[in-house]
């Protein structure tokens, strides 16, 4: 099976589980995996989104199924793993894509510990739960690739929400440490750290004015906003044998923003003290 570029399929007959696969980066990853020959399990809490992505994949005569699951629920995750392993007998690739900044919390001292728990469950705990559920099958077969989706905010200071940043940084350290632990069992663990990418949670096309959008070439070194497919291609690399000698690393998929700078105090946005948008601070 070849993808649309004519190159050899990189995930031929692999079983790949993608959490949050109904939309955004997850959906782009699921579609790309399917084009490269994978049997894709799209896990999402939104059954409608997941079904639409499955329909997109099926229209190309590729293989995908949707499983509605709340990956914050340990029992639901265990049932997910049982159903996938019962159906396919194995899992070759796991993409822990679910994550959300939820809402602008204001200053740290004004946040409620219950909000920290929400951030923890959706950005870090689910990575633990889903990985624990599927990792034993990978170890047993001495083969597998785990790709976690962190954030550029896990690699730099994020004054808008230090708690979110802490959990995203924890994903990076979990990736690094687990990779060392399971490397001798044939399992690789890597991550990406996106920035400035259009997604369901971060719809830049809706947030920015025309004047702001015109500033992208001045602000992002690659000269444009990211799209989900940009992230999906790097995830495919980390999931495939192209990266067979790479483990424990986090790739900043940020268009160069991490290299160029970060957050700035804003004098033009009275509602927010900090900005990373493509406008003069």
In eight-state DSSP terms, residue 123 is I
Q: Which of 120, 158, 164, 204 is catalytic?
A: 164
The backbone torsions φ and ψ at residue 179, rounded to the nearest 5 degrees and listed phi first, read -60, -40
| Distance, CA of 257 to chain centre | 18
Cβ(44)–Cβ(99) below 8 Å = no
Catalytic (active site) residue 164: yes
Angstrom distance (rounded) from CA 148 to CA 134? 13
- Give the sign of the dihedral formed by CA 97, CA 102, CA 104, CA 106: negative
Q: Specify the 3-state DSSP secondary structure of 138.
A: helix
Structure letter (DSSP) for residue 197: B
Side-by-side strand order, sheet with 63-68: 63-68, 39-44, 15-19, 93-96, 144-149, 187-192, 250-251
Q: Provide the 3-class DSSP secondary structure of residue 19.
A: strand
Positions annotated as catalytic residues are: 164
């Amino acid at each position: 099976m070849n993808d649309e570029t004519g190159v050899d399929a990189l995930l031929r007959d692999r079983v790949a589980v993608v959490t949050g696969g109904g939309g955004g980066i997850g959906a782009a990853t699921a579609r790309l995996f399917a084009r490269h020959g994978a049997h894709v399990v799209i896990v999402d809490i939104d059954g409608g989104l997941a079904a639409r992505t499955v329909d997109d994949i099926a229209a190309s005569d590729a293989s995908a199924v949707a499983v509605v699951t709340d990956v914050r629920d340990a029992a639901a995750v265990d049932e997910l793993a049982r159903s996938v392993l019962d159906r396919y007998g194995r899992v070759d690739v796991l993409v822990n894509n679910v994550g959300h900044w939820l809402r602008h919390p204001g200053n740290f001292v004004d946040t409620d510990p219950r909000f920290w728990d929400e951030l923890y469950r959706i950005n870090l705990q689910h990575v633990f739960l889903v990985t624990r559920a599927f990792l034993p099958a990978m170890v047993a077969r001495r083969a597998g690739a785990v790709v976690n989706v962190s954030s550029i905010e896990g690699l730099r200071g994020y004054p808008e929400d230090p708690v979110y940043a802490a959990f995203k940084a924890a994903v990076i350290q979990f990736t690094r440490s687990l990779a060392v632990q399971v490397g001798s069992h044939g399992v690789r663990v890597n991550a990406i750290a996106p920035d400035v990418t259009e997604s369901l949670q971060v719809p830049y096309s809706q947030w920015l004015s025309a004047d702001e959008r015109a500033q992208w070439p001045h602000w992002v070194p690659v000269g444009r906003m990211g799209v989900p497919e940009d992230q999906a291609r790097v995830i495919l690399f980390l999931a495939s044998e192209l990266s067979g000698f790479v483990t424990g690393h986090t790739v900043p998929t940020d268009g160069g923003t991490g290299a160029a700078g970060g957050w700035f105090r804003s004098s033009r946005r009275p509602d927010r003290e900090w900005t990373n948008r493509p406008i003069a601070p």
